[in-house]
């Protein structure tokens, strides 16, 4: 199998939002480094994966290095960058009168990209001026250099990535994010949990190996603690009559339901957050023989994206019944 031949659901929502934040979406990783099909979960378009950033310092640089600590300085920075973009637009206008229709279409596409960049720069200049918890949007310290490929550093890298994600939401720099822990067929160990089996081997041990099951349970518990930490930070950010968590939908899933069989049947999905009251939480629901595409439709509908199907046309259309509040 090659790259996905469709857009991922998060990017469909990005397109629905349009230009509302400085950064369209944030793709984060923790030891998700392999540049191959099994390592990519986010697609901006068919065959166009968006790789995750595994280094918290690089994430911080993208979010905050070009943003001054005070609003006045941010606006000065924006004015300087805008003057450059205005000059580029002027050059486009001059060229537009001298080129063929085909080249004109290319120039217009580039000009549209420049206009969008200018809009996002303006939003970056206004960061903290009207988004979620804007009164508490402060530029965080740089995480610095981390050994992101060292398995012993995973807890610290995870903490930084989660905190940067929450801060990006607090400052309204983006409203869409993904976080990928490792990849399929990984050999990662969890020494801080005294779990030294390789991830891929443990997942293929099956249910008859008690040691493998114990290690996988330890790891699953640790993953759930990371989710709980993120949720606690989002729940501490006021937004409207509630918190950012109240207005967020979090989806936690894996690529297969059973490692030893590579099964996609009985796939577990955990849905958290509030979804602005659109989805009813705190329940265990089981759907037999239903494609997960329906779940994606339900999520998009809860985010005010009106669709009746998502993904491969041969799978079921419509949302999941009983998921909405």
Q: How confident is the model at residue 130 (pLDDT cuts 50, 70, 90)?
A: very low
pLDDT of residue 136 exceeding 80 = no
Q: How confident is the model at residue 190 (pLDDT cuts 50, 70, 90)?
A: very high
The pLDDT, as a whole number, for residue 123 is: 65
Highest mean pLDDT among 100-104, 160-164, 183-187: 160-164
Q: How confident is the model at residue 325 (pLDDT cuts 50, 70, 90)?
A: confident
The pLDDT, as a whole number, for residue 10 is: 97
Q: How confident is the model at residue 214 (pLDDT cuts 50, 70, 90)?
A: very high
Q: Tens digit of pLDDT for each residue in 94-108?
A: 666 666 777 667 666
The two structure tokens encoding residue 245: 């968590």
pLDDT of residue 131 exceeding 50 = no
Helix (H) or strand (E) holding 44: strand 43-45
The pLDDT, as a whole number, for residue 92 is: 62
The two structure tokens encoding residue 213: 């099951």
d(CA 15, CA 288): 31
What is the maximum alpha-carbon separation in the chain? 73
CA gyration radius, the chain: 22
178: Cβ contacts below 8 Å, ≥ 6 apart: 10, 25, 26, 27, 28, 41, 42, 52
- The closest of 27, 78, 86 to 54, measured between CA atoms, is 27
Cite the DSSP H helix spans in the chain.
9-17, 56-60, 71-96, 101-125, 154-170, 199-203, 210-235, 293-302
d(CA 132, CA 167): 10
The pLDDT, as a whole number, for residue 38 is: 81
The two structure tokens encoding residue 169: 């939401």
Taking residues 243-269, what's their average pLDDT?
88
Q: Give DSSP secondary structure letters for 57-81.
A: HHHHIIIIITS-SSHHHHHHHHHHH
- The closest of 279, 280, 249, 254 to 267, measured between CA atoms, is 254
């Amino acid at each position: 199998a090659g790259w996905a031949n469709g857009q991922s659901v998060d990017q469909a929502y990005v397109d629905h939002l349009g230009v509302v934040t400085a950064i369209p979406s944030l793709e984060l990783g923790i030891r998700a480094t392999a540049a191959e099909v099994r390592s990519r979960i986010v697609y901006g378009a068919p065959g166009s994966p968006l790789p995750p950033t595994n280094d918290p310092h690089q994430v911080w640089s993208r979010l905050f290095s070009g943003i001054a600590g005070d609003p006045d300085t941010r606006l000065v920075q924006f004015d300087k960058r805008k003057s450059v973009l205005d000059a580029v637009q002027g050059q486009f206008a001059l060229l537009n009168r001298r080129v063929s229709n085909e080249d004109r279409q290319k120039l217009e596409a580039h000009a549209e990209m420049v206009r969008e960049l200018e809009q996002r720069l303006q939003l970056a200049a206004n960061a903290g001026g009207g988004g979620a918890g804007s009164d508490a949007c402060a530029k965080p310290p740089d995480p610095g250099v981390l050994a992101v490929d060292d398995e012993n550093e995973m807890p610290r890298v995870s903490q930084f990535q989660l905190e940067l994600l929450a801060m990006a939401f607090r400052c309204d720099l983006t409203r869409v994010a993904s976080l990928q822990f490792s990849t399929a067929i990984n050999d990662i160990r969890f020494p801080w949990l005294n779990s030294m089996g390789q991830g891929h081997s443990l997942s293929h041990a099956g249910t008859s190996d008690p040691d493998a099951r114990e290690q996988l349970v330890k790891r699953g518990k640790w993953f759930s603690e990371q989710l709980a930490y993120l949720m606690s930070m989002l729940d501490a950010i006021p937004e409207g009559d509630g918190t950012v968590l109240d207005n967020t939908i979090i989806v936690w899933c894996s690529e297969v339901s059973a490692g030893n069989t590579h099964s996609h049947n009985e796939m577990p999905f955990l849905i958290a957050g509030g979804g602005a009251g659109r989805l009813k939480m705190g329940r265990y629901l089981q759907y037999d023989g239903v494609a997960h595409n329906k779940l994606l439709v339900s999520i998009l509908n809860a985010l005010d994206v009106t669709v009746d199907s998502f993904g491969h046309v041969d799978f079921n259309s419509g949302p999941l019944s009983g998921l909405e509040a």
